[in-house]
Amino acid sequence: MRIYNSNEIKNIALLGSKGSGKTTLAEAMIYECGVIKRRGTVEAGNTVSDYFPVEKEYGYSVFSTVFNAEFNNKKLNIIDCPGADDFIGNAYTALGVTDLGLILIDSEYGVEVGTENIYRTTAKLNKPVVFALNQMDGEKADYDNVMEQMYEHFGKKVIPIQYPLECGPGFKSIIDVLIMKKLEWKAEGGAPEISEIPADQMERATEMNKALIEAAAENDETLMEKFFDQGHLTEDEMREGIRKGLVDRSIMPVVVLSAAKDMGVRRLMEFLGNVCPFVDEMPAPVTTDGVEVKPDSDGPLSVFFFKTSVEPHIGEVSYFKVMSGTLNAGADLDNVTRGGKERLAQIYTVCGNIRNSVETLKAGDIGAAVKLKDVRTGNTLDAKGCDYQFDFIKYPQPKYQRAIKPKNEADAEKLAGILTRMHEEDPTWVVEQSKELKQTIVKGQGEFHLRTLKWRIENNEKLPVEFVECKIPYRETITKASRADYRHKKQSGGSGQFGEVHLIVEPYTEGMPEPDTYKFGNQEYKLNVRDKQEIPLDWGGKLIVYNCIVGGAIDARFIPAIVKGLMDRMEQGPLTGSYARDVRVMIYDGKMHPVDSNEISFRLAGRNAFSEAFRNANPKILEPVYDVEVHTPADYMGDVMSDLQGRRAIIMGMDSESGIEKINARVPLKEMSSYSTSLSSITGGRSSFTMEFNGYELVPGDVQEKLLKEYAETHQED
């Protein structure tokens, strides 16, 4: 392979809903480039893209696959991304290091929720888009209907480049209005026969060509003037206008093809090579310090690692993009993210599971290295004297979680190491060791996403594990003031233990006045504040402690021990053992013994006095609540709404976006446990959702009673 410069390289993310045919298209593209001699199929499990055991097991893509194609003296680096919404994180990664999203649409089903999700991701990242209507040979393929859907969903920026003469099993020819020719294929596909446009199609083709010219001219003043003067543009001028329109997302071209029959694939690659922007034509990425870094092969060497995978028979493979400079095999670089040095003894270009060793890769190019010492996804490696660091890939929030544990408790440490490595491979697998819940929590994009994780642990690592329901991180608080006292006294020969604490508790809110006078029953308590501690809690909220002791009833040296006792109960609330928050405590009286009083005595006295006062202060349990946004086809709106209401959801609003219904709701985390699976079941996998933490709210009375009963059955007061 020859060395390509930045102005000869195009980096493309291959995107689309599940079943849109991305893997089949990738196979056809590398076949057309001569990388493989025979095309594999997803059904046979012999494609270049889906080569991991778990992908062969499930029959569709789980991981993104990097491959390159040399075509017409240009290099196309393409990242084939899984279509299932559970693996949307791969699209974020791919779009982070590529310059264009090639979005496949199944011509039988049209614009699906998954298509909408991917399009929104490209919009969020401001990436150019080309649409490809695949499977034009499908029984229910309908070009005109799909185009109407696209106009409705994506607006008039959608500009067709081609249209089929016939959809369905008879698909074999198209009219290309960019080159104004008819392309027709034989049964085996491949190179088309190019001829003039038939007379009966000329009017339609001319009209579409004019619309394309107008769209292209809008992006360049010179082209616009020429179009007004002459009424037409040359083919090269149109390409230039489309390229500029792609960069600012004012044009979204549409091509048609059948990847399975290899019809239109070569023409697609010509279009990508001739029209889509090169690496050096896109906005420069920015470092964490805000420095723009252009893909200059003569600039300082900086390499960003965007993907790590553990591959069969090879081990760890690290994928990178050369952000600046020229990378040569054997380069010694500094890992500016983690520290330390790394030698890239060998570098490769990659085509799925095919790796070719190369000596040099220039700025903008994508490659891989194997078995590096200490490089992780998201790391930047720089040559001496360069201090660039990149962190531009932001992943979506998890929306499905489970607690995981080994079936043999002795394997807990081994499992922790495996999960850490899995997260490095796919950062959307989030692992949390929860001190609060005493569980290892794994979070992902959906039930299938986590099931894939479990499959890999059990089959690749040979470690049996099980998922269990996550405990819910409830919070406890109080709603009124109360008073309690507790005497801790213990005598067992020798010195004993003695400590007595009297305190008042009340709910804490920001800006409330300092404590003064309280009345419980017929007795009034006038407090004199001597000291105040404000303790921000790691889990949210505060504990405010006032020392109101007068007359030396409790020595000041015992106050820290009492506060420790209070924190014991804040960390393990009296109601359900959950964290407590937003409580104000006034320690106003007590007793001590000249010999038997010590820190442990006052810690226990403070803890138990607080427990009693807390229970008498009309305590309430708070539960985490999430903002949930559901996108669903209108056909399923009623079922989705009904399901949400059964989950104690509060519907905050509804909207319609181009035929896709959007529901905004506020839902308790407890009710979201199986929502990913349920939504998929209700809508046949055609809906999606996102969720984001909103805050804590009081649980309903019946739910609180149930939680208290469950806790009482399994715990006793210390």
Question: DSSP H helical segments within 549-598, as ranges?
Answer: 559-571
The burial class, CB within 10 Å (0-12 / 13-18 / 19+), for 218 is middle
In angstroms, the CA 649 to CA 705 distance is: 20
Residue 710: CB atoms within 10 A of its CB come to: 11
In angstroms, the CA 375 to CA 335 distance is: 8
What mean pLDDT is reported for the chain? 91
Report which of 699, 701, 678 is spatially closest to residue 628, judged by C-alpha positions.
678
Whole-number pLDDT of residue 88: 86
In angstroms, the CA 258 to CA 281 distance is: 30
In angstroms, the CA 153 to CA 657 distance is: 7
In angstroms, the CA 53 to CA 461 distance is: 12
The enclosing H or E element of 654 equals: strand 650-657
Whole-number pLDDT of residue 635: 85
Q: Tokens standing for 522? A: 């017929």
Looking at domain 302-382, which CATH architecture does it have? Beta Barrel (2.40)
Q: What share of the chain is helix, strand, coil (3-state, %, to 5)?
A: 30, 30, 35
Q: Point out the residues of the chain with pLDDT beneath 50.
A: 717-718
**Domain 400-471: CATH class, spelled out:** alpha beta
The enclosing H or E element of 146 equals: helix 143-154
Q: Tokens standing for 574? A: 């009296």
In angstroms, the CA 110 to CA 141 distance is: 9
Whole-number pLDDT of residue 718: 42
In angstroms, the CA 354 to CA 69 distance is: 12
Looking at domain 6-198+250-281, which CATH architecture does it have? 3-Layer(aba) Sandwich (3.40)
* C-alpha to C-alpha distances, 444 to 28, 112, 290, 400, nearest whole angstrom: 32, 22, 30, 5
Q: What is the pLDDT of residues 226-251, one digit of tens each?
A: 777 777 788 888 888 899 999 999 99
In angstroms, the CA 99 to CA 119 distance is: 14
Same fold: 6-198+250-281 with 621-704: no
The size of the chain, in residues, is: 718
Cβ-contact 412, 366 below 8 angstroms: no
Q: What is the pLDDT of residues 333-382, one digit of tens each?
A: 999 999 999 999 999 999 888 889 999 999 999 999 998 988 999 999 99
Cβ-contact 138, 108 below 8 angstroms: yes
The letter for the amino acid at 141 is A
Nearest-5° Cα angle at 373, 370 to 378: 80
Beta bridge partners of 130: 102
Whole-number pLDDT of residue 680: 85
Any idea what DSSP says for residue 371?
A: S
Residue ranges covered by each domain of the chain? 6-198+250-281, 302-382, 400-471, 476-618, 621-704
Residues in CB range of 221: below 8 A, 6 or more apart: none
The letter for the amino acid at 411 is D
Phi-psi region of 63 (alpha: psi -120 to 50; beta: other; left: phi over 0): beta
Reported as half-sphere exposure (CB side, CA atoms, 13 A), residue 78 has a value of 30
Residue 230: CB atoms within 10 A of its CB come to: 9
Per DSSP bridges, beta strands 482-490 and 620-633 are: unpaired
Cβ-contact 92, 394 below 8 angstroms: yes
CATH T-level fold of 621-704: Alpha-Beta Plaits (3.30.70)
Domain 476-618 has CATH 3.10.20.30: no
Question: DSSP H helical segments within 512-576, as ranges?
Answer: 559-571
Q: Alpha-carbon Rg of the chain, whole angstroms?
A: 32
Distance from chain centroid for Cα 222: 42
* C-alpha to C-alpha distances, 685 to 17, 103, 249, 321, nearest whole angstrom: 10, 19, 29, 34
Q: For tokens 């008039």, what's the residue?
A: 156
Buried b (16+ CB within 10 A) or exposed e, 175-206: bbbbbbbbbebeeebeebeeeebeeeeeeebe
Dmax (CA) of the chain: 112
Report which of 402, 422, 332, 420 is spatially closest to residue 369, judged by C-alpha positions.
332
Buried b (16+ CB within 10 A) or exposed e, 152-169: ebbeeebbbbbbbbebee
Residue 641: CB atoms within 10 A of its CB come to: 18
Residues in CB range of 44: below 8 A, 6 or more apart: none
The letter for the amino acid at 292 is E
Cβ-contact 383, 335 below 8 angstroms: no
Instruction: Quote the pTM value.
Output: 0.80
